[in-house]
Amino acid sequence: MLPHRKTPETVMARLVMKFGGTSVATVERIRNVARHVEREVKAGHDVAVVVSAMAGKTNELVGWVKEASPLYDAAEYDVVVASGEQVTSGLLALVLKDMGIPARSWQGWQIPIRTSDAHGSARIDGVDGDGLAAGFARGEVAVVSGFQGVHAPSGRIATLGRGGSDTSAVAIAAAIGAERCDIYTDVDGVYTTDPRIVTKAKRLDRVAFEEMLEMASLGAKVLQVRSVELAMVHKVRTYVRSSFDDPASPQAGTLICDEEEIVEQQIVTGIAYSKDEAQITLRRVADKPGVAAAIFGPLADANINVDMIIQVVSDDTTTTDITFTVPTADFDRARTILERARDQISYASLQGATDVVKVSAIGIGMRSHAGVAAKAFRALADKGINIRAITTSEIKFSVLIDAAYTELAVRTLHSLYGLDKA
Amino acid sequence: MLPHRKTPETVMARLVMKFGGTSVATVERIRNVARHVEREVKAGHDVAVVVSAMAGKTNELVGWVKEASPLYDAAEYDVVVASGEQVTSGLLALVLKDMGIPARSWQGWQIPIRTSDAHGSARIDGVDGDGLAAGFARGEVAVVSGFQGVHAPSGRIATLGRGGSDTSAVAIAAAIGAERCDIYTDVDGVYTTDPRIVTKAKRLDRVAFEEMLEMASLGAKVLQVRSVELAMVHKVRTYVRSSFDDPASPQAGTLICDEEEIVEQQIVTGIAYSKDEAQITLRRVADKPGVAAAIFGPLADANINVDMIIQVVSDDTTTTDITFTVPTADFDRARTILERARDQISYASLQGATDVVKVSAIGIGMRSHAGVAAKAFRALADKGINIRAITTSEIKFSVLIDAAYTELAVRTLHSLYGLDKA
């Protein structure tokens, strides 16, 4: 849907740089961002900078919205909240011009970034890169308000939801055929696992799109899932790097790219974990056709995502035990729905657990290596860790375990797949 | 330039309501504004509400702009500052919807309110009333961000400068053919003079456009001069009233209207005064052709408005003394310019005074009454007040006096023309 114009002669030098709320929290911080931009301009890039609202501003605006109307209208919410990015884009353009760097700010409706009308969590339908390109031709840095677009038929402002600025940045990179999309963040890249749990965790130089998508989906919080999906579809090389670097001597980050760009592929690239899972077990469900539909149909109708599913024959052979996971936020709702549907499903009892964690290993190398998961199951069993459920896909596997064993399991897998080494 | 559609059958019920920054300073204050709107909706009006930024917000935004770039780019200033009204418009729409009143917010670019590209003090070129009218047809209150528009050729946000929201309100009233434009303010109307100086000052029920224009130009701060000009050109009946009234029982204000609507015309309607005047006297200027051009040409080139001019033959008959006034803010600049041009002009000395005040009497009745000003000169002389300069026009006269006599002069004229009476 997004136009992906690539004319290598003219666009190889285009770069998108994205800075989040803490990087633009004050005018002084914005000045630091401008120095990063200055470096890339001097290196010969045509630069589009995507900015978030100053840290704290979005919360202030959302607070007013809720005070004005607890059950607020989403379109008006967008009008109020999108003003935060508007302020930052103007201020960064001002600072750049003050430093002698030609620049102009762009709001979502000016580019335009066309979106759906799902106000508050709109989807990007397309980005017109022509206006930005004309600005580059005039030698201008384009300073773009992240997180926002316009629903063209109504002409109304629409925001993209939490983390939407990453998605804005990738969509703009695709539209202008940028060589790279640099996401400046409060960490210096993507790690083999959470460094707070495993001190030996290493920054990865390169991660394949597919791997990053799994990592983001499985709990790594560096990038929003949507922005990675978009980067993968449009093959936007996305570079996660630190905004706290000295602009004069930036450090290396992590490049998220096509797997063809990754010379030495690891079997397992990273270990992720997510505490945002809750387990539900239905005991002695009648083992008859249509029972899965009776259980999962009502949950799907209520927009509850079911993730891991495991079915075990129970003591007698006419019933089974069915275990599955739902997002923790939907746990109570799911339980209520299943209790109401007890007669249709026919089960003996419902057991729930929220003190569980999903630990996952991700790596495109799994495609060509058998027995990767089996090795993990053995290693976890050796440590006395009970596996409640398992899911696997082509490039990852996940196990559901007691939350108390989170750190032990992550460390065990990190060592097992050789990620502790330099 | 502004389209003035009048189809009495459909538009007689249209009303514009404008609220300034102190009226929308908090969500609670915005709720009070919504109750005023509710009253007019229940009375059967199609309502467009024009709002300013929450009190203090514009100053915060301007502060950031100046911190970002002392010699800031005006177009980016507009981007940052216009966000303040955007927030208020969204919040008021939210509160109205929460009260069950259909509403939607409109930014300048959405209507659009087309402006010149004089960023920071743009002129309104036209307002398209079609979108607002379609909203009325759907039963919606239109909540419009004041102070802003869009320069259509560039698609960039432009602000109208100080007090621009009054101008927005009048322009929208003209575009939708509103029956009336209600300006809610911190005073309950236009007074015969400043009540802080003359306790007997009375609220006027009606003031003619021409009178209001003179009053605004001469120091009455109730309305911006530009908004009165626009109201006069498009014959927009403008009602100045208090935003502190109980929304359930609003009090009377002052209607600014065509003089045909004013049954009993007074000779003098009001007494205004302005301390924003400085006096410059050039002594012993060579009395020869071209000397006026030598003095006032350079001042005009520097965009300095010269107001009162008086020329007195000096002791010898080959030279004259020339006295005139300039805005206090331009006083130093004017003096520098004149000192540099001393040789071309040829004068003996330059004397300046900033401790002066211009006191004016305004009334459309002066047109048909002679000797109105002469009576004032006598009354002021009787009180020992020295008149430094005089200007008169068809419906007003002004005298320049020592600032120390301000209150005495205003009170003297207020009594003289019978304005003390109930």
Q: What is the pLDDT of residues A334-374, one digit of tens each?
A: 999 999 999 889 999 999 999 999 999 999 989 888 889 99
* B326: confidence class by pLDDT, cuts 50, 70, 90: very high
Residue with tokens 């490039």: A395
- From CA A210, how far away is CA A93, in angstroms rounded? 35
- Count how many domains chain A has: 2
pLDDT in tens, B117-134: 999 999 999 999 999 999
State whether residue A68 sits within 8 Å of chain B by CB: yes
Q: What is the pLDDT of residue A265?
A: 77
Q: For residue A319, give every residue at least 6 positions away whose Cβ sits within 8 Å of its Cβ, in sequence order, or none.
A: A284, A285, A286, A287, A348
Chain centroid to Cα A40, Å, comes to: 26
Chain A residue numbers touching B71 (CB-CB < 8 A)? 98
Residues B143 and B231 in one domain: yes
Residue at A1 is within a domain: no
pLDDT in tens, B276-321: 999 999 999 988 878 888 999 999 999 899 988 888 776 667 888 8
Residue at B21 is within a domain: yes
Q: How many CB atoms lie within 10 A of CB B391?
A: 17
Residue at B3 is within a domain: no
Residues A216 and A278 in one domain: no
Checking phi first, is residue B7 left (phi over 0); if not, alpha (psi -120 to 50) or beta? beta
Task: Identify which of B79, B104, B105 has the shortest CB distance to residue A86.
Answer: B79
Cα-based distances in Å from B286 to B302, B312, B321, B341, B389 = 23, 12, 9, 14, 21
Residues B100 and B224 in one domain: yes
What is the ipTM, given to two decimal places? 0.84
Task: Check if the beta carbon of residue A98 is closer than 8 Å to that of residue A177.
Answer: no
**Which of A230, A261, A292 represents a domain boundary (last residue)?**
A261
Residues A200 and A307 in one domain: no
- Calculate the average pLDDT of chain B: 92
> How far does B115 lie from chain A, in Å, by closest CA?
16
Residues A80 and A223 in one domain: yes
Residue at B1 is within a domain: no
Q: For residue B145, what are the β-bridge partners?
A: B51
Task: Identify which of A68, A73, A93 has the shortest CB distance to residue B27.
Answer: A68
Question: CB A69 to CB B97 under 8 A?
Answer: yes
> How far does A31 lie from chain B, in Å, by closest CA?
8
State whether residue B311 sits within 8 Å of chain A by CB: no
The percent of residues above 90 in pLDDT, for chain B, comes to 79
Question: CB B30 to CB A68 under 8 A?
Answer: yes
Residue B23 tokens read as 């009226």
Checking phi first, is residue A391 left (phi over 0); if not, alpha (psi -120 to 50) or beta? beta
> How far does B17 lie from chain A, in Å, by closest CA?
20
Task: Check if the beta carbon of residue B211 is closer than 8 Å to that of residue B228.
Answer: no
Q: What is the pLDDT of residue B29?
A: 96
Phi first, then psi: what are they for A45, rounded to 5°? Answer: -85, 145
- From CA A112, how far away is CA A157, in angstroms rounded? 11
Report the pLDDT averaged over residues B41-57.
96
DSSP A41-66: HHTT-EEEEEE-PPTTHHHHHHHHHH
Residue B368 belongs to a domain with what CATH number? 3.30.2130.10
H or E element, residue B103: strand B103-106
Residues B303 and B187 in one domain: no
Question: CB A83 to CB B80 under 8 A?
Answer: no
Residue B52 tokens read as 């300013």
State whether residue A394 sits within 8 Å of chain B by CB: no
Domain that holds residue B191: 8-261
State whether residue B58 sits within 8 Å of chain A by CB: no
pTM (2 d.p.)? 0.86
Question: CB A64 to CB B87 under 8 A?
Answer: yes
Residue at B355 is within a domain: yes
Residues A269 and A243 in one domain: no
Calculate ∠ Cα A381-A383-A389, nearest 5°.
Answer: 40
State whether residue B109 sits within 8 Å of chain A by CB: yes
Residues A18 and A125 in one domain: yes
Chain A residue numbers touching B75 (CB-CB < 8 A)? 104
Q: What is the pLDDT of residue A422?
A: 58
State whether residue B76 sits within 8 Å of chain A by CB: yes
- From CA B90, how far away is CA B71, in angstroms rounded? 31
> How far does B20 lie from chain A, in Å, by closest CA?
18
Question: CB B98 to CB A71 under 8 A?
Answer: yes
Q: Report CA torsion sign: B214, B215, B218, B222.
A: negative
Residue A77 belongs to a domain with what CATH number? 3.40.1160.10
**Which of A227, A261, A295 represents a domain boundary (last residue)?**
A261
Chain A residue numbers touching B82 (CB-CB < 8 A)? 86
Closest to A140 in 3D by CA, of A176, A184, A196, A96: A96
Residues B192 and B341 in one domain: no
Chain centroid to Cα B371, Å, comes to: 29
Question: CB B107 to CB A156 under 8 A?
Answer: no
Residues A220 and A282 in one domain: no
Residue at A2 is within a domain: no
Question: CB A69 to CB B94 under 8 A?
Answer: yes
State whether residue A350 sits within 8 Å of chain B by CB: no
> How far does B313 lie from chain A, in Å, by closest CA?
53
**Which of B226, B261, B296 represents a domain boundary (last residue)?**
B261
Q: What is the pLDDT of residue B11?
A: 41
Report the pLDDT averaged over residues B188-201.
93
Q: How many CB atoms lie within 10 A of CB B258?
A: 13
Chain A residue numbers touching B69 (CB-CB < 8 A)? 94-95, 97-98
Chain B residue numbers touching A110 (CB-CB < 8 A)? 155-156
Helix residue ranges per DSSP H, A150-208: 164-176
Residue at A3 is within a domain: no
Residues A222 and A273 in one domain: no
* A1: confidence class by pLDDT, cuts 50, 70, 90: very low
Residue at A406 is within a domain: yes
State whether residue B95 sits within 8 Å of chain A by CB: yes
Q: For the purposes of burial, counting CB atoms within 10 Å of the CB of B246, is it exposed (0-12), middle (13-18) or buried (19 or more)?
A: exposed
Q: Is A321 helix (H, G, I), strand (E, B) or coil?
A: strand
Is a pLDDT exceeding 70 seen at residue A6?
A: no
Amino acid letter for position A218? L
State whether residue A107 sits within 8 Å of chain B by CB: yes
Report the pLDDT averaged over residues A31-37.
97
Residues B231 and B369 in one domain: no
- Counting one residue from A and one from B, how many pairs have CB atoms under 8 Å apart? 115
